[in-house]
């Protein structure tokens, strides 16, 4: 893990381009929707673009159940597994999620490769969609927004903090502070506005981000080789 420490101790680590592009794409979609809702565009029906995006690109449990029951597999039922990340319910929510993904993505990209960050983004998004499809209630609002990825990044960052604490011989309890803080924050929102179906997606993203850190870290290949040797020796 020496490579991780060297990257962390650089005087300045610029934000990874892939994180900037992903966050900008989320915010860009929302800005277009805002312009349509404010009738800054002359296109007819622009104020209804958000509902159309949610209908076509949000992740619907009914569509997931359709796939599980052997329904026809076609692009329009496949792309929502990731496209939901770029569809938001309003400017404030999208702005907050974009900034959080950008901030946590930068902290991870300081130690992980650009490819690893992109894999985390995709994997946490997919895990969130699958968990939502499997465990959310019937007839609820579709899954939208990038919070499953944000929680995935929190999981990865927690793994990084645990690794560093163990390397220094320190307690790992402080590594869980970010998770605890956002769990408390989410619980507060649940008390104020009710518990939404999306909590399953957020939890799946968190777990996926934590587990994938083991193999996506700079020394992940060496760790996997060690596991293979251990299994073969049994």
CATH of the domain at 88: 1.20.1540.10
Q: What's the rounded Cα separation, in Å, for the pair 98 and 119?
A: 18
| Count of positions (residues) in the chain | 234
CA separation (Å) from 81 to 146, 199, 222, 233, 234? 12, 16, 31, 39, 39
- The answer to whether residue 60 is domain-embedded is yes
The pLDDT of residue 50? 92
- The answer to whether residue 230 is domain-embedded is no
205, 150 Cβ separation under 8 angstroms: yes
- The answer to whether residue 21 is domain-embedded is yes
- Residue 138's region, left for phi above 0, alpha for psi from -120 to 50, else beta, is beta
pLDDT at 194 over 80: no
The pLDDT of residue 139? 76
Residues 6+ apart with CB under 8 A from 29: 53, 86, 87, 88, 94
What is the 8-class DSSP label of residue 63?
H
pLDDT at 42 over 70: no
Model confidence over 108-135: pLDDT tens digits?
998 899 999 999 999 999 999 999 999 9
- The answer to whether residue 232 is domain-embedded is no
pTM metric for this prediction: 0.88
- The answer to whether residue 228 is domain-embedded is no
- The answer to whether residue 64 is domain-embedded is yes
Residues of the domain holding 49? 2-218
- The answer to whether residue 146 is domain-embedded is yes
The pLDDT of residue 11? 44
First to last CA, the chain: 27
Domains identified in the chain, total number = 1
- The answer to whether residue 142 is domain-embedded is yes
As a whole number, the mean pLDDT across the chain is: 86
List, as one string, the DSSP characters of 9-34.
TSS--PPPHHHHHHHHHHHHHHHHHH
CA 228 to chain CA centroid, nearest Å: 29
Mean pLDDT, range 53-75, rounded to an integer? 90
């Amino acid at each position: 893990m020496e490579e991780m420490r060297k990257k962390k101790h650089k005087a300045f680590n610029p934000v990874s381009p892939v994180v900037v592009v992903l966050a900008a794409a989320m915010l860009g979609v929302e800005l277009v929707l805002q312009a349509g809702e404010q009738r800054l565009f002359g296109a007819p029906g622009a104020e209804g673009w958000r509902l159309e995006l949610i209908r076509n690109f949000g992740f619907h449990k009914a569509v997931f159940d359709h796939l599980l029951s052997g329904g026809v597999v076609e692009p329009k039922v496949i792309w929502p597994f990731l496209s939901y990340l770029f569809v938001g319910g309003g400017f404030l929510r999208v702005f907050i999620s974009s900034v959080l993904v950008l901030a946590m993505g930068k902290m991870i990209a300081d130690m992980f490769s650009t490819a690893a960050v992109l894999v985390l983004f995709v994997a946490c998004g997919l895990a969130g969609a699958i968990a939502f499809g499997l465990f959310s209630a019937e007839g609820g609002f579709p899954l939208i927004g990038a919070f499953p990825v944000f929680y995935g990044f929190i999981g990865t960052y927690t793994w990084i903090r645990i690794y560093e604490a163990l390397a220094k011989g320190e307690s790992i309890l402080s590594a869980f502070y970010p998770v605890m803080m956002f769990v408390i924050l989410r619980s507060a929102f649940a008390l104020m506005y009710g518990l939404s179906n999306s909590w399953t997606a957020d939890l799946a993203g968190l777990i996926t981000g934590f587990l994938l850190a083991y193999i996506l870290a700079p020394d992940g290949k060496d760790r996997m080789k060690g596991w293979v040797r251990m299994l073969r020796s049994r």
